[in-house]
């Protein structure tokens, strides 16, 4: 599976992270259903926008890309997304791009002109536009270089862009320059997945020209390329597209002021991947409440019965929903139904049913990376307990001190042993006793 990753010209907004969660759900589902998945998500680490931001700030272009990419990776990580098998960077794959350009020129589908190299769309006219369902006759000029006069046809797009003063560039047989965006993905996808591979994903805004051009380059060079295409819907804020100029960009940190990471993950997972998702504070709050209903049942059930391993069988309705174009909203409906049944079982004291429903809820939420009792969420709530434990331990230590003062060493030792049995180690220091959790 190849997914078009970020162009890290800025920190990710929640739309980028929604994409991260969506492909993580697909990855987990494919693995759960017995597929071996090589997951490639690229980083477009050289690009017009990155170069523009760097010039504005007076920092090197690679520093801008590196710093923002780190924030992207942290964001994916905080939301429990599994790391890709490989995260190739465009700048590390120029040799592969040169090979692909050479193949296209030799096959008569590309030409060098004015310092650039272009894809000749007329040479591929029958098939160009199939993914985005348009005909070449109706397409507008590519508008991707200032050298429009050098092109044979205004709709030809740049595979390679000639060097401009002060910009990063690499040496090629056609002169110094840097890669066109579309070419990068064709070169990197086939390097790691072979000439033909299963799934290619990306945002719906990438269908044209980006994905259309990827297909044209790879297939004109003789590769089969992707068998299936997945396009995720975008995310708006209060009905408006996020943009820096409007000032409505919502970052992960904004959501983490209102919800825990697992609740944000639940929220971003809760809409179907193809749907347009509209962020509102009320929608997030609703998702938080829904996740806490699941968590409430799991926590109470696990206090009563053995929580099990979490890798039990999945209810058939859940599997059917997931197999139907990754129907996560329908799959979550099955989770909530099971939680309701589980709560009834708790109320009526039907322990066998509690065990069954808990196993099913853990198996389903685990498959979605949302199991409250599994990493990385387990213990997340315990962080809040630290001040409470601290206060309780202080009370116990004061009683121990009082016992010592009246020379009742047996009582003092009993308090210390009781704390040790609960996993709390007490150390006497010149400044008084201190405690820490026993690590094993
Ligand atoms: Zn791409």
Whether 323 and 400 map to the same domain: the answer is no
Q: What is the dihedral of CA 313, 319, 320, 325, to 10 degrees?
A: -170
Ligand 1 centroid – CA 202 distance (Å): 7
Whether 156 and 195 map to the same domain: the answer is yes
Ligand 1 centroid – CA 8 distance (Å): 13
Q: Which residue has the higher pLDDT, 381 or 40?
A: 40
- Residue 28: which CATH number? 3.40.50.620
* pTM, two decimal places: 0.88
Last residue of some domain: 199, 232, 265?
232
- Residue ranges of the annotated binding site for Zn(2+) are 4, 185, 210, 214
pLDDT over 70 (residue 380): no
Ligand 1 centroid – CA 1 distance (Å): 12
The 3-class SS string of the chain reads: CEECCCCCCCCCEHHHHHHHHHHHHHHHHHHHCCCCCCCEECECCCCHHHHHHHHHHCCCHHHHHHHHHHHHHHHHHHCCCCCCCECCEHHHCHHHHHHHHHHHHHCCCEEEECCEEEECHHHHCCCCCCCCCCCHHHCCCCCCCCCHHHCCCCCCEEEEEECCCCCCCECCCCCCEEECHHHHHHHHHHHHHCCEEEEEEEEHHHHHHHHHHHHHHHHHCCCCEEEEEEEECCEEECCEECCCCCCCCCEHHHHHCCCCHHHHHHHHHCCCCCCCEEECHHHHHHHHHHHHHHHHHHHHHHHHCCCCCCCCCCCHHHHHHHHCCCCHHHHHHHHHHHHHHHHHHHHHCCHHHHHHHHHHHHHHHHHCCCCCCCCCCCCCHHHHHHHHHHHHHHHHHHHHHHHHHCCCHHHHHHHHHHHHHCCEEEEEECCEEEEEECCC
Q: Is residue 308 assigned to a domain?
A: yes
**Mean of the per-residue pLDDT values of the chain:** 94
pLDDT at residue 388, rounded to an integer: 81
* Gap between the Cα atoms of 221 and 204, Å rounded: 25
Ligand 1 centroid – CA 328 distance (Å): 25
Ligand 1 centroid – CA 203 distance (Å): 10
Ligand 1 centroid – CA 4 distance (Å): 4
Place of tokens 């391993």: 309
Whether 190 and 289 map to the same domain: the answer is no
Ligand 1 centroid – CA 267 distance (Å): 26
Ligand 1 centroid – CA 323 distance (Å): 26
pLDDT in tens, 89-114: 999 999 999 999 999 999 999 999 99
pLDDT in tens, 177-229: 999 999 999 999 999 999 999 999 999 999 999 999 999 999 999 999 999 99
- Classify residue 247 as left (phi > 0), alpha (psi -120 to 50) or beta: left
pLDDT over 90 (residue 382): no
Q: Which residue has the higher pLDDT, 431 or 291?
A: 291
CB 283 within 8 A of CB 255: no
Average pLDDT over residues 156-164: 96
* Gap between the Cα atoms of 419 and 257, Å rounded: 34
Ligand 1 centroid – CA 217 distance (Å): 12
Ligand 1 centroid – CA 407 distance (Å): 74
Whether 371 and 398 map to the same domain: the answer is no
pLDDT in tens, 6-64: 899 999 999 999 999 999 999 999 999 999 999 999 999 999 999 999 999 999 999 99
Whether 61 and 81 map to the same domain: the answer is yes
Q: Is residue 288 assigned to a domain?
A: yes
Q: In which band, very low, low, confident or very high, does the pLDDT at 381 lie, cut at 50, 70 and 90? A: low
Ligand 1 centroid – CA 5 distance (Å): 7
Ligand 1 centroid – CA 240 distance (Å): 25
Q: Is residue 238 assigned to a domain?
A: no
Ligand 1 centroid – CA 228 distance (Å): 15
Q: Is residue 246 assigned to a domain?
A: no
Q: In which band, very low, low, confident or very high, does the pLDDT at 427 lie, cut at 50, 70 and 90? A: confident
Average pLDDT over residues 422-437: 83
pLDDT over 90 (residue 242): yes
Q: Which residues have C-beta under 5 Å from ligand 1, the single-atom ion?
A: 4, 185
Nearest to 202 by CA among 233, 231, 226: 231
Whether 139 and 264 map to the same domain: the answer is no
Q: In which band, very low, low, confident or very high, does the pLDDT at 430 lie, cut at 50, 70 and 90? A: confident
Whether 375 and 390 map to the same domain: the answer is no
Whether 223 and 259 map to the same domain: the answer is no
Ligand 1 centroid – CA 169 distance (Å): 20
**Could you give the percent of the chain with pLDDT greater than 90?**
86
Q: Is residue 243 assigned to a domain?
A: no
Whether 57 and 191 map to the same domain: the answer is yes
Rounded alpha-carbon distances, angstroms, from residue 56 to 82, 145, 332, 356, 390 = 34, 21, 45, 59, 49
Last residue of some domain: 366, 381, 396?
381
* Gap between the Cα atoms of 146 and 284, Å rounded: 44
* Gap between the Cα atoms of 392 and 403, Å rounded: 17
Whether 46 and 145 map to the same domain: the answer is yes
Q: Is residue 247 assigned to a domain?
A: no
Last residue of some domain: 232, 261, 285?
232
Q: Is residue 112 assigned to a domain?
A: yes
pLDDT over 80 (residue 295): yes
Whether 88 and 209 map to the same domain: the answer is yes
pLDDT over 80 (residue 383): no
* Gap between the Cα atoms of 100 and 189, Å rounded: 12
- Residue ranges of the annotated binding site for ATP are 244
Rounded alpha-carbon distances, angstroms, from residue 309 to 68, 255, 296, 355, 366 = 38, 31, 18, 12, 10
Full residue range of the structural domain in which residue 79 is found? 2-232
Least confident of 74-88, 255-269, 414-428: 414-428
pLDDT at residue 147, rounded to an integer: 86
Ligand 1 centroid – CA 320 distance (Å): 30
Whether 193 and 312 map to the same domain: the answer is no
Ligand 1 centroid – CA 434 distance (Å): 55
Ligand 1 centroid – CA 210 distance (Å): 6
Strand order in the sheet with 177-179: 110-113, 116-119, 157-162, 177-179
How many separate domains does the chain show? 3
Ligand 1 centroid – CA 46 distance (Å): 13
pLDDT over 90 (residue 438): no
Q: Is residue 244 assigned to a domain?
A: no
């Amino acid at each position: 599976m190849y997914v078009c990753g970020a162009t890290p010209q800025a920190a990710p907004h929640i739309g980028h992270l929604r994409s991260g969660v969506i492909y993580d759900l697909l990855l987990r589902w494919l693995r759960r259903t017995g597929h071996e998945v090589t997951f490639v998500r690229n980083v477009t680490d050289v690009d017009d926008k990155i170069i523009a931001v760097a010039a504005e700030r007076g920092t090197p272009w690679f520093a801008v890309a590196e710093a923002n990419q780190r924030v992207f990776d942290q964001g994916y990580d905080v939301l429990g997304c599994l790391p890709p098998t490989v995260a190739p960077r465009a700048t590390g794959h120029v040799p592969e791009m040169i090979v692909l350009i050479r193949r296209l020129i030799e096959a008569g589908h590309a030409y060098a002109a004015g310092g650039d190299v272009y894809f000749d769309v007329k040479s591929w006219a029958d098939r160009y536009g199939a993914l985005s369902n348009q005909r070449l006759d109706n397409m507008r000029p590519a508008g991707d270089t200032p050298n429009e006069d050098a092109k044979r046809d205004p709709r030809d797009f740049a595979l390679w862009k000639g060097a401009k003063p002060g910009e990063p560039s690499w040496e090629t047989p056609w002169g110094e320059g840097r890669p066109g965006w579309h070419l990068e993905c064709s070169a990197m996808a086939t390097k790691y997945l072979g000439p033909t591979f299963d799934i290619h994903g990306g945002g719906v805004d990438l269908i044209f020209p980006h994905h259309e051009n990827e297909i044209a380059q790879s297939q004109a060079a003789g590769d089969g390329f992707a068998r299936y295409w997945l396009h995720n819907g975008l995310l708006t804020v209060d009905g408006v597209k996020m943009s820096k100029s409007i000032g409505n960009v919502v970052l992960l940190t904004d959501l983490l002021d209102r919800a825990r990471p697992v609740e944000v993950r639940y929220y971003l997972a809760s809409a179907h991947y193809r749907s347009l998702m509209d962020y509102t504070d009320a929608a997030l709050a609703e998702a938080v409440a829904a996740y806490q209903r699941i968590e409430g049942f799991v926590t109470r059930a696990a206090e009563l019965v053995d929580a099990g391993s979490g890798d039990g069988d999945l209810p058939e309705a859940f599997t059917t929903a997931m197999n139907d174009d990754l129907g996560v909203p329908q799959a979550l409906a099955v989770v909530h139904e099971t939680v309701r049944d589980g709560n009834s079982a708790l109320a009526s004291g039907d322990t066998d049913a509690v065990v069954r429903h808990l196993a099913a809820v853990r198996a389903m939420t685990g498959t979605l990376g949302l199991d409250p009792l599994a990493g990385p969420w387990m213990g997340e709530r315990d962080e809040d307990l630290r001040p409470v434990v601290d206060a309780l331990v202080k009370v116990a230590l004061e009683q121990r001190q009082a016992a010592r003062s009246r020379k009742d060493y047996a009582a003092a030792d009993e308090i210390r042993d009781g704390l040790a049995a609960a996993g709390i180690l007490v150390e006497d220091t010149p400044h008084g006793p201190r405690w820490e959790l026993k690590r094993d």
